[in-house]
Chain A
Amino acid sequence: MSSRDMVILSYRVNPEDFAKAGDASSNTKKVLKKLGIPSDITRRVAIVTYEAEINITIHSNGGEIIVSIDKAKIEIIARDYGPGIPDIDRAMEKGYSTASDHVREMGFGAGMGLPNMKRCSDEFQIESQKGKGTTVTSTIYIHD
């Protein structure tokens, strides 16, 4: 088998499955620690992955998270199958949330998910198409 010099982790995220939410980020963190990635980078990746998982769990019809790690950077792609974000600018505002009351009662939906992801990323992109889905791409560079 040829070496890609890259580790790729992929996780399926199911809608409303709160028992599983958090698995992707905790597993990713374990892998990064085994790779010897500096702890501040690991923490940022864990936060991005965790918020992405929670977003997909709360808001979407399900999706996936793909984490690609090479020696220069870590890229996290969180993709879901809809329903899409109607107003991305508002969604990026701190404290803005469309989460339902029952989700908020569980302690989620504080409106900090996307802003937190952006804050922890070196590069951050979000694309959304109504009805089709949303893709968030976060890149975090590994410094020495």
Chain B
Amino acid sequence: MDNYFHSVVLSEDSCKGCTHCIKRCPTEAIRVRGRKASISGEKCIDCGECIRVCPYHAQKAVTDDLEDIKKYKYRIALVPPVGHGQFDTGTGLGKVLKAVEMLGFDEAYDISPYCDIASAIIKKHYLEEKKITRPAIYSDCPVIIRLIQLRYPDLLENVIPLVSPMEIAARLKKTDIANKKNFRMGDIGVFYLTPCPARVTSVQVPVGISFVYTDGLISIRKIFGSLSKNLRELQSLEKVEGYEFSGRGLKWGTIGGQSHSIGSKNYLAVDGIENVINIFEEVELGKLKKLDFIEAYACTGGCVGGPLLVENAFVAKTRIKHLADITPSPKLIGKEKVKELLDTGLFTWTEEIKPKKMVSLDPNIGKAIQKMEKVEEILEKLPGIDCGSCGAPTCRALAEDIVNGRAREVDCIFRLREKMNEINRG
């Protein structure tokens, strides 16, 4: 349909043409036409809200299968902190990693130590050395970066241009293994166990970087059953050792974890896409200049609320907090090491992030103004109750669609009834 890759896709067979998703979409990207929903590639930011809300599970995420790992000679799995939140806290971090390896990976690594690397770089370079416009925004959440590109392009200068802990891990591990085990880079496959579709898009259509070291993403929900089975097999073992973790890094899975890790005293942590939008509105008005740092996640609770997880976000959050508290945290790397890492150029954005133009009524401002006048005229005739029956999320969205020839006035059931009455009265 268009040139935009998105990990959120719609299965037409399952779609009943209801209005749940159109009302929930934060960028008004979905319309129901002919009793089927369709997602505008231009407006979608892959937040997955539609996946979460669809009662018929018609919206799906494109992720890789375990079969895909077989394409590589050496297979690495990266396990994010939220992975541990899916299992009982008595399970043990090591067993989860072992259970992941049993799916067919040569090695599994926990992401938490790499979250620490990101924390150290943010704290010691960007914040302490004042290398970024305040309030600095860092988001490991790909939806947030896309939201800023689309709706708040002026805030791009506040965004810390550091890659995600996923990529930090992929870059360090891939280079390391290529050197030590004598593999070609192309023979090493790095797979991230993902809690959300947005992460998939961040690998397929990267923002800020031109080359992604992560080769694939596997939905945690999809492998949950196999992981549980593997964990049952490991039940008799007392403890599985040999993996590295950081309690501090584990907290990155939940909102507030980043700010806690970097030790910011003057931060704001916001979760849930609507709340994030409200905060960015305030930043745009220049109201939050006194803050040092903003941590933002599209999902409620942070990554722990990702739509491709199994466990309830609040249950998982409690588990992660507990695990973080009982897991030791190695000291953050020092300023010299931070500088050394940054000097490699491997961990920062190499590409300029361009603002994406919000979809306007017309590319020509003069014409857009004329269309806006028509929108207002049409809007006066619509009921203003934003019922969604026409397939657009609001009466205003319908009016805009009408002006651009994508809908008709009689798509509104109230207008249709009025027209019928007029005809009947003759």
Q: Which of A's residues lie within 8 Å of B, judged by CB?
A: 1, 3-7, 25-26, 29, 31, 33-37, 39-40, 43, 46-47, 50, 69-71, 116, 142
Contact = CB atoms under 8 A, between A and B. Distances in A.
The 10 closest A-B pairs by CB, nearest first: A36-B360, A71-B366, A35-B368, A39-B153, A33-B358, A71-B365, A7-B372, A36-B368, A43-B154, A50-B285
Contacts of A36: 357-358, 360-365, 368
Nearest to A49: B285
A3 B372 contact: no
A70 B153 CA distance: 23
Interface string B364-378: 111011101100110
A46 B369 contact: no
Contacts of A47: 285-286
Interface residues of B, number: 26
A3 B403 CA distance: 15
Contacts of B400: 34
Contacts of B369: 5-7, 35, 69-71
Interface in B194-251: none
A43 B284 contact: yes
Contact of A25 (B285, B355, B364, B373): B285
Contacts of A31: 372
B60 to A, nearest CB: 30
B274 to A, nearest CB: 13
Nearest to B151: A33
Nearest to B153: A39
Contacts of A35: 360-361, 365, 368-369, 372
Contacts of B365: 35-37, 71, 142
B281 interface: yes
Main secondary structure of the interface of B (DSSP, over half): helix
Contacts of B358: 33-34, 36
Contacts of A39: 152-154, 355
Contact of A34 (B151, B281, B372): B372
B411 to A, nearest CB: 20
A40 B365 CA distance: 15
Given A33-B360, A36-B362, A36-B365, A3 B373 contact: yes
A10 to B, nearest CB: 12
Contacts of A40: 154
Nearest to A30: B396
Looking at A7, A33, A34, A50, which has the most chain B CB atoms within 10 Å of its CB?
A34
A96 to B, nearest CB: 18
A26 B154 CA distance: 16
Contacts of A71: 365-366, 369
Interface in B96-145: none
Given A5-B366, A69-B369, A34 B360 contact: yes
A85 to B, nearest CB: 23
Contacts of A6: 369, 373
Nearest to A120: B286
